[in-house]
Amino acid sequence: MKRLLPLVVCLLLAACAPRNNDQAAPANQPVLSPDQQMANFLGDSHPGASASFSGTSYGDYVTVTTREDYISALGELCREGLVNSSGGISRIAVCRDKKEQAWRLAPRIFPQGAL
């Protein structure tokens, strides 16, 4: 019985301990646009990976496939991608900004659907 007494006391103390029921509030992260989500996917994925996005500047529902890396004339790491939408297949590119280290969509060179 004397051996159980310390165990019972410990259990009672643990049961009476204050609890923090508040969940950690998520950091105030900005909501990313569909185009920025697409750029982040292309930048962070491996060649051959694909994902679907909605509400992009390339169409309401698109599938993006990651292609090869290259170095731009500005010396930035870039990655090519293909966007398959109702308007056809378009080549796009994302480049990593040297200062912010964030992926951004490169300006369009070819018209949408021209491949």
Q: What CATH number has the domain bearing residue 62?
A: 3.10.600
> In the prediction, which pLDDT does 22 show?
54
- Give the pLDDT confidence score for residue 11 in this predicted structure: 61
In this prediction, residue 38 carries a pLDDT of 96
Phi, psi (5° rounding) for residue 7?
Answer: -65, -45
Residue 57 in domain: yes
Residue 101's domain spans which residues?
Answer: 34-105
> Looking at residue 18, what is its pLDDT?
61
pLDDT averaged per 10 residues, the chain (length 115): 63 60 63 95 96 95 97 93 93 90 85 56
Which contacts qualify for 90-93: CB closer than 8 Å, 24 or more apart? 90/58, 90/114, 90/115, 91/115, 92/42, 92/58, 92/64
Beta bridge partners of 65: 50, 82
Q: Can you tell me the distance from the alpha carbon of 103 to that of 97, in angstroms, rounded to the nearest whole number?
A: 6
In a domain, 39, yes or no: yes
Q: What is the pLDDT of residue 101?
A: 86
Say whether pTM exceeds 0.85. no
Where is 44: in which H helix or E strand? helix 34-44
